[in-house]
Amino acid sequence: MKYLAILGSTGSIGQSTLAVVAEHPGEFAVAGLAAGRNVELLAQQIKEFQPLRVSVQDKETAARLKLLLPTNWHPAIFWGPEGAKEIALTEGVDLVVSAMVGAVGLEPTLAAINAGLPVALANKETLVAAGSLVMAAAKERGVPIIPVDSEHSAIFQALNGERRQDVRQLWLTASGGPFRAWDLERLRGATAAQALKHPNWSMGPKITIDSATMMNKALEVIEASVLFGLDVDQVGVYIHPQSIIHSLVEFVDGSVIAQLGAPDMRLPIAYALTYPRRLPLNGPRLDLCQVGRLTFEAPDLTRFPGLALGYAAARAGGTMPAVLNAANEMAVAAFLAGRLGFMDIPKTVEAAMEAHRHEPLDSLDQVLAVNRWARDFAQGLINRGI
């Protein structure tokens, strides 16, 4: 029996993780759940999985949750950033699933690593904002970080048994999102409702908007470089609208290994939960005859400048990726609230990067300070109508 702490249990990854747990009750038990403000869903999860501890965003939300708790199970309730850390450090946990959205996932994930706990990582912002610190801590503690993102899981699987010095290039695939074929003029008028209609994946609103701007691929490029210890220019991107090939590894001899599967996040989640074993999963199987064709194209950086900003941030290094991530979080929130245009998202990020004097990354406090600065700077732009 493997005991799990799930950070971000009410998000799309958290829900998919619990679906895998429910399908294999003899494999897993849930020790802790951390969520935000969706107490109705969290109360249902508590009733079904009976965790020892739970955490929510703030004290007021904790009070609301208490009113919804089932009569037969009363876990300890925590809140705020410290509450999420408490969940990550729950006694007896064997694996921490880091699936909180945004930089808020950094501190509890790093706390788990420093405590010597293995991490199944879906929170890409952790490695974007503080990659060198996180990887150094994992190496010092001997802690494995197993990727959950479908693209990084694909690379992780393709590299299994291979020597890193034999890798020439990593290729991340991207669906292209809902606006892949839109021209620049049409993109300027794109609405949040349109951007949230992803053609292949069912995800939370923030990552769905990131997919529409291709900023998610910018973050994934940085994450892949950090996670696999390669130069950022060894990480490329293909647009692959079918979302069947989840990523590829090209080796120095010209061989390419790809990982294929249906667009179902339960697959990489289950692999991370039981690595190196694989669990049988119910659900549709990949039928390549039915798929028919797999197509690829180069990303258009004119229409989707967020990807170019990701490469620029990675090449600058130090604190710059944290600025990119924080400014993007603020811009996406403003777009979803109707306060910012679609093409103003990368403009906000670029302005923050241009205003920031990046420096080498040397502490968590520094990352948190840069995160606050970038958020404040981006918010000022948004308030002024950029």
Q: Per-residue pLDDT tens for 116-140?
A: 999 999 988 899 999 999 999 999 9
| Boundary residue ending a domain (94, 128, 147) | 147
Do both 183 and 255 map to the same domain? yes
Q: What is the pLDDT of residue 101?
A: 83
Q: What is the pLDDT of residue 204?
A: 82
Tell me the per-residue pLDDT of 309-333, one tens digit each, with 9 for 90 and over. 999 999 999 999 999 999 999 999 9
Distance CA 71, CA 260 (A): 44
Instruction: Tell whether 109 is covered by a domain.
Output: yes
Mean pLDDT, rounded, of the chain: 95
Distance CA 56, CA 100 (A): 12
Token pair of 105 as six digits: 């996932």
Tell me the per-residue pLDDT of 73-94, one tens digit each, with 9 for 90 and over. 889 999 999 999 999 999 999 9
Lowest mean pLDDT: which of 52-61, 134-143, 280-289? 280-289
Do both 322 and 239 map to the same domain? no
Q: What is the pLDDT of residue 7?
A: 98
Exposure pattern of 333-369 as b/e (b: 16+ CB <10 Å)?
bbbbeeebbbbbbbebbbbbbeebebeebeebebbbe
Report the DSSP pairing between strands 53-56 and 2-7: unpaired
Q: What is the pLDDT of residue 316?
A: 96
* Residue recorded with tokens 């199970």: 73
Instruction: Tell whether 272 is covered by a domain.
Output: no
What is the pTM (predicted TM-score) of this model? 0.93
- Judge whether residue 237 has pLDDT over 90: yes
Band the pLDDT of 240: cuts 50, 70, 90. very high
Helices 124-141/106-114 angle, 10° precision: 10
Q: Provide the domain count of the chain.
A: 3
Which residues, 6+ apart, have CB-to-CB distance to 361 below 8 Å?
Answer: 130, 132, 133, 317, 318, 319, 322, 367
- Judge whether residue 270 has pLDDT over 90: yes
Distance CA 200, CA 228 (A): 27
Do both 108 and 37 map to the same domain? yes
Do both 48 and 185 map to the same domain? no
- Domain span at residue 136 reads 2-147
Do both 9 and 137 map to the same domain? yes
Q: What is the CATH number of the domain that holds 12?
A: 3.40.50.720
- Judge whether residue 199 has pLDDT over 90: no
Token pair of 31 as six digits: 């020790």
pLDDT over 90, % of the chain: 91
Distance CA 239, CA 174 (A): 5
Lowest mean pLDDT: which of 1-5, 104-108, 145-149, 196-200? 196-200
Q: What is the pLDDT of residue 174?
A: 95
| Boundary residue ending a domain (147, 167, 195) | 147
| Boundary residue ending a domain (123, 147, 171) | 147
* Mean pLDDT for the stretch of residues 20-44: 96
Do both 301 and 157 map to the same domain? yes
Instruction: Tell whether 270 is covered by a domain.
Output: no
Nearest to 15, CA basis, from 6, 24, 27: 6
Do both 102 and 161 map to the same domain? no
